[in-house]
Structure 1
């Protein structure tokens, strides 16, 4: 069959993915093999995958494919997350824009119908992207966090923790998202530095002409003030004990209280206390038994309790309040003030409001301890550990109770049931709730009860992911949870170390009494050229399917991985995808070259002349296989890809194939051809986890196969380094050095030279003499013990190479080139000598580092001597 000139990604991708699926290669069932389990971090069904997801899924696929080819029963579970806040916001926007429907006009059931339609649409797009990328997930195991079994698992977990006393309901200060109209956990708040304003406002002391000036950043909350607080040691205000002040605009009398919490040096030393709208004020209010006045509605407008500007947006109200204070002569001054503003993680342009609210909470201290111990003791290994271990520990050691209720419709509805007079029980169904009330001697019917309107935080469902994808909560102790759990590795982004990673460890320890995964690999953040995190909300991520259509999935995978050291952020650049495309071309051309020799195979020709090339590449191949195995085991996947890339591009294509390539229309030894095909197959196998489509395509085009590369098991590798590897490196250095010298002497590739070698060990060159002559186009190679006059001199390590040619040489140009090279080498030597003359460096550096610098010195001195000899010869 005639090969096409170029690799056609689209055709190969469609063909091979369908073939792999039809063969059931991605499906996993418990058997006698050791399991390698990965659960996909479920993407939110709010849109499509961005480049951060692309990196994450590619890393997982590399690990899973590598495990499958290493003999493991690889199980990669796909799925998606309902993402309560973000998805509900998207659905609300869609309904208003496309159908003219407001959420308030719908019943809960009607709204959920639209939400599930959204999930089907965008969940399908996400799964299509995962498939197009080549991800070898088990599609029979797709999970969604609102599936029936998963929903039941979440409710069961809530009830269990409530019965254990680990979940409670109470009114506390929470973070409130006015746009989504829901509570947020502390981890869903993003703080950004900003330059705010500090407003100095006068409060009149009752029954006096005196005014106390208070500095505030939020004048729109003045109407909720219930005290004015000063430090008891502040003599400026000692006379105010027992006094009251008048709140501007609403003319409410509030007490002056004294507490050491106030910093006399900040602002005016007097603090307005608004318990409903600041956590510190709330704590002061509890301590001093202050009234709580909530002046904001759930949507961020002023409530009737504010008395003024009711219904106005909080930021519009701020302007109106400032205007009124100015008009009444109560605004002393306004100054700029550096501050940090809290924003909603799910609605990035929405400023979060502190608010007193009755919510459901998880007591975290008790369930945190096992999760902390698992990581500290090394049962779970974090990669890269030096960067993220301290972060993980700090959060768990300072954890606060978790607010898990959300004022939404999309999600698992909280299983709490209320009577008309406010009594409640926690139960899975209304019928079970009736029985629970009976035990409290309260007689009700199911019709009398109303279920809690709130749903559970998304992370309260996703923390069960590694357990419930195998039905570990709903069917505890089943065959699959016992076989696949704990999972092998979690690959995720560093930004959800608190949201998800730590909480999964907690849930795993609570319900399986075992860690959920053995390793956690944190990928870096994929950022755009401005350094911003790529995300759907910013719209700064290129469309993955468009990239695959343009470059092919393998090139996309290559481009994202070659730039992604573990845990390090990367700036996405499409040039890396072009590099992946160039690599495709290189491999494809190697196939075309080798296949072109098929008609020239001769069984009668000896392979002796190629013995060195064959033995050297065999050793080099096994050496790199060992390196790759080690790098993948250390989750240094970018380095692993770079190593494979160099092996194929440089060692195989640029060196080995050139060394064994037959002359024009000349035959090739059958043994050399078969070994070359075998080497190429092994290279394809090593590369396959990184670039699955082109490797499978070439594997089958190279020769007729009885198996598929996707499941081909790696051969055993007992690599032991041999001297031939060093000889091969020497050969490459000599060829490169002589070729450079030929170019500097304006010798064309077809121009022959006469080469004489002055070597400390001439015997070491005998096995590479024929390759060397061929690669530098030397018609004669000989050895000498003397300096050869009127010859170009090349130095490699301790050996010298003299070559002459019958061609005329432009000595003026050559001299200029040599002088330029000499200047560079002398500068290089000077920099090395500065380091070696530094006593601190010699004392503190490792011996091997010092040895490297000394070798640099010796090499530079040898090169300088050689250049000077060449100049003398001219």
Structure 2
């Protein structure tokens, strides 16, 4: 067969600068354009649309890289994969960033000007995000129409009109969670909790009927003017004598009833508490349950109103300090204890929230909780499965219908006009679906005019909660608005995947479930993939305020995108937080080089498809390859990339390269004629079979080096190839059982040579005893290690033990 073996991969080392060239080629070839072919299965990936509010850090980009790996795998399994990328451009996140960036207040500039500032800000950061994701190897289809486009907003308004016509949306004045800074209602899911240093203030209240003092502890003395009752636990013997009496509340001296309620904790403070409208959701519950009067003192802008008396016009913290000073001067402040407690805050601007009464639109959800839980349990698959319970627990915890109206600007407008009659009453009218409506500035459509006898129409100026837009991303991703894709009817819900972080289970995931349940009576998607959060090397969340943000491009420029994607896949099990690790990125860089070296070695030999004889060594590695392939494919199919990358890394480097390649070299070259020509061809066949399988299985995670190797050897892109099921002809437990003792034998001999100052190529002038299971590969072992004599079984005499577990010994002559 000749002895002049020259590698077809000419370059001696992988150069990751070729990644940029490959990105250009992929785009020129339209490799990842959406193509829907009949007869092929479908996978729609409901990609998380990010807020383009700044340069993405490496933790967030790793999450998108993992999603890209899943998309690439399913393409290579023969699926029609729809993997869109677009931006979530609505709502508070953008508005808050614009206010900070341009030093403006939304309510103090013309609406049109503020909207233009939002668009300008979003365009700048969106382009950067797209560019970075492409450099990371993102194979998405870029849809320039994000959630603020007329296309998307028209779809959002259509769903609003459908739900309105079904009687599922209503307007009401009721207590709502409120952000004074953003001046808008919040849903329960938009409330976060923060630790705050504060004081527990012990204050004297007087009992009207007896004149005695009772001490009440509170962290919110500014709500004393809003107090409508004093309550203690019905089992608390200390205060039973007070039930039915009245307390005089300082400093305004309003009289309130003393009541009992089981929610009062006997061990907190003095065991007797003030009930205000509204300090928290517990207060709200007690007020509603006991039908106590409303005494709301907080305005929507966070100042106190006329019911606060002399404190009117003060902001909350200002009023708190003023009331404490007054109580102290009146001799009513007994003591103050420093405490650290949890406070609810706005999820975006981090301002402490209040509960105020406002008139909002609500989407019904409480009456559907049991139905949704049943649907989640029976019709949705979670990976990892434990996160299904997280969603169910959240659904169970809901206490309010969803307030969907927001008093903001940058969002999808609520499509309602109000017909004002002669008495000044306003009747809401919704238009037909199919157009994008801006009632605050647009002329009402004809069908709306026809329903208003007075002819006096006023457009709604509020917008919808941003999650009302985002929660139908699964409709958008599956082509609901795009005739050229038109997969919605075929894909929903069984062919849609939702990949997302656990941090937005209660928002994006829950609201998607609610919306699909109300619109279609089905789940929004069949599959949910939950990932963890990207952390810094110390295990802390990345935040600008901490100064621990790790740029998403710097390690790519230093080590290559394949190396960074290796880290993104290998850093943590699916569902767990993943720490940034430069060491793991370096390992990925080294692995790409190792893969290149393996391929370059193999490329020196011809690839054959017939007239070959497989030796037991070949059958052993092919049996292991089948086992690896099944493990990897099964994990990929469960949307996991951690198991595939670690399995492939270990097999490729520590089994195939370290052991099989070393053992097969002598047969592949066959320079000494120790093997038949057909056995030599068997070595070539096996080398290429393993290489091609490893390249295909690695391609979703490390798309650059695998594609470059494949193109160099075969002229086409690896990403157009199919990942096939393992060939059952190579399933053989007997040959597979040789692998562990084979590796142990090699390691034992190499250790002996190192210990005795021998190079690995030097012969061993001794008798080596190996386990009986390795008899079938005796020729390869002798040639590989240059063993003078190889025997099997256990020797007699004073043999040196090389590996007692596997029965490997050395007997010197």
Shorter chain as denominator, the TM-score bin is 0.7 to 0.9
Task: Write the distance in 2 (CA, Å) between the matches of 1:730 and 1:234.
Answer: 75
Task: Write the distance in 1 (CA, Å) between the matches of 2:270 and 2:568.
Answer: 54
1:743 is matched with 754
2:3 is matched with none
2:131 is matched with 128
Larger Rg: 1
1:152 aligns with 2:154: yes
1:495 is matched with 503
Secondary structure of 2:56's counterpart equals coil
1:680 aligns with 2:727: no
Q: 1:444-459, aligned counterparts within 5 Å?
A: 444-445=454-455, 448-459=456-467
Task: Write the distance in 1 (CA, Å) between the matches of 2:685 and 2:650.
Answer: 23
Cα displacement (A) at 1:333:
1.6
- Structure ranking higher on relative contact order (CA contacts 8 Å, 6+ apart): 2
Question: How far does the alpha carbon of each residue in 1:578-626 deviate from its partner, in whole angstroms, 9 at most, with x for none?
Answer: 111111121122234344x46xx799xx987x83443333333233212
1:39 is matched with 46
Task: Write the distance in 2 (CA, Å) between the matches of 1:460 and 1:424.
Answer: 23
1:787 aligns with 2:796: yes
Cα displacement (A) at 1:309:
4.4
Cα displacement (A) at 1:381:
0.8
Q: 1:764-843, aligned counterparts within 5 Å?
A: 764-782=773-791, 786-789=795-798, 791-795=799-803, 797=805, 799-804=807-812
1:525 is matched with 533
1:403–1:532 Cα change, 3 Å: farther
Contact 2:411 2:463 in 1 (8 A): yes
- Structure 2, unpaired ranges of 5+: 1-7, 432-436
2:651 is matched with 647
Task: Write the distance in 1 (CA, Å) between the matches of 2:496 and 2:477.
Answer: 14
Comparing both structures, which one devotes a greater share of its residues to helix? 1
- Equivalent residue in structure 2 for 1:9, among 16, 33, 38: 16
Contact 2:497 2:528 in 1 (8 A): yes
- Equivalent residue in structure 2 for 1:732, among 743, 748, 754: 743
Task: Write the distance in 2 (CA, Å) between the matches of 1:767 and 1:287.
Answer: 81
Q: 1:632-711, aligned counterparts within 5 Å?
A: 632-662=636-666, 671=681, 672-673=683-684, 675-701=686-712, 703=713, 705-711=714-720
Q: 1:347-366, aligned counterparts within 5 Å?
A: 347-348=349-350, 350-366=351-367
- Equivalent residue in structure 1 for 2:568, among 554, 560, 571: 560
Secondary structure of 1:8's counterpart equals coil
Task: Write the distance in 2 (CA, Å) between the matches of 1:217 and 1:602.
Answer: 77
1:405–1:530 Cα change, 3 Å: farther
More off after superposition, 479-488 vs 775-784: 775-784
1:253 is matched with 254
2:28 is matched with 22
Task: Write the distance in 1 (CA, Å) between the matches of 2:272 and 2:131.
Answer: 60
1:8–1:108 Cα change, 3 Å: same
Q: 1:393-472, aligned counterparts within 5 Å?
A: 393-400=392-399, 401-418=401-418, 421=424, 423-428=426-431, 439=451, 443-445=453-455, 448-472=456-480
1:352–1:667 Cα change, 3 Å: farther
Cα displacement (A) at 1:713:
1.5
- Equivalent residue in structure 2 for 1:618, among 619, 622, 626: 622
Contact 1:51 1:534 in 2 (8 A): no
More off after superposition, 585-594 vs 671-680: 671-680
Contact 1:56 1:491 in 2 (8 A): no
- Equivalent residue in structure 1 for 2:201, among 192, 199, 202: 199
1:583 aligns with 2:591: yes
1:853 is matched with none
Query: Please, what is the CA RMSD of the aligned residues?
Result: 3.3
1:216 is matched with 218
1:629 aligns with 2:633: yes
Give the total of aligned pairs. 778
Contact 2:47 2:84 in 1 (8 A): yes
Cα displacement (A) at 1:115:
0.7
- Equivalent residue in structure 2 for 1:593, among 594, 601, 614: 601
2:5 is matched with none
More off after superposition, 57-66 vs 101-110: 101-110
Cα displacement (A) at 1:177:
1.9
Cα displacement (A) at 1:288:
5.9
1:508 aligns with 2:511: no
Question: How far does the alpha carbon of each residue in 1:563-586 deviate from its partner, in whole angstroms, 9 at most, with x for none?
Answer: 120112222222111111111121
The TM-score normalised by the length of structure 2 is: 0.87
Cα displacement (A) at 1:226:
3.9
Task: Write the distance in 1 (CA, Å) between the matches of 2:478 and 2:263.
Answer: 53
Task: Write the distance in 2 (CA, Å) between the matches of 1:760 and 1:279.
Answer: 72
Contact 2:203 2:217 in 1 (8 A): yes
1:176–1:536 Cα change, 3 Å: farther
Contact 1:425 1:437 in 2 (8 A): no
2:723 is matched with 714
Secondary structure of 1:768's counterpart equals helix
Contact 1:159 1:426 in 2 (8 A): no
Cα displacement (A) at 1:644:
0.8
Secondary structure of 1:173's counterpart equals strand
2:65 is matched with 58
Contact 2:574 2:640 in 1 (8 A): yes
Task: Write the distance in 1 (CA, Å) between the matches of 2:254 and 2:792.
Answer: 106
1:815 is matched with none
Question: How far does the alpha carbon of each residue in 1:375-404 deviate from its partner, in whole angstroms, 9 at most, with x for none?
Answer: 212x2111111x222222222234331121
Task: Write the distance in 1 (CA, Å) between the matches of 2:732 and 2:669.
Answer: 36
The TM-score normalised by the length of structure 1 is: 0.81
Cα displacement (A) at 1:488:
3.5
1:273 is matched with 275
1:78 aligns with 2:77: no
Contact 1:753 1:804 in 2 (8 A): no
1:274–1:785 Cα change, 3 Å: closer
1:765–1:690 Cα change, 3 Å: same
Contact 2:34 2:82 in 1 (8 A): yes
Question: How far does the alpha carbon of each residue in 1:530-588 deviate from its partner, in whole angstroms, 9 at most, with x for none?
Answer: 43333567663311122211221111110121112011222222211111111112112
Task: Write the distance in 2 (CA, Å) between the matches of 1:162 and 1:613.
Answer: 69
Secondary structure of 1:767's counterpart equals helix
Contact 1:417 1:433 in 2 (8 A): no
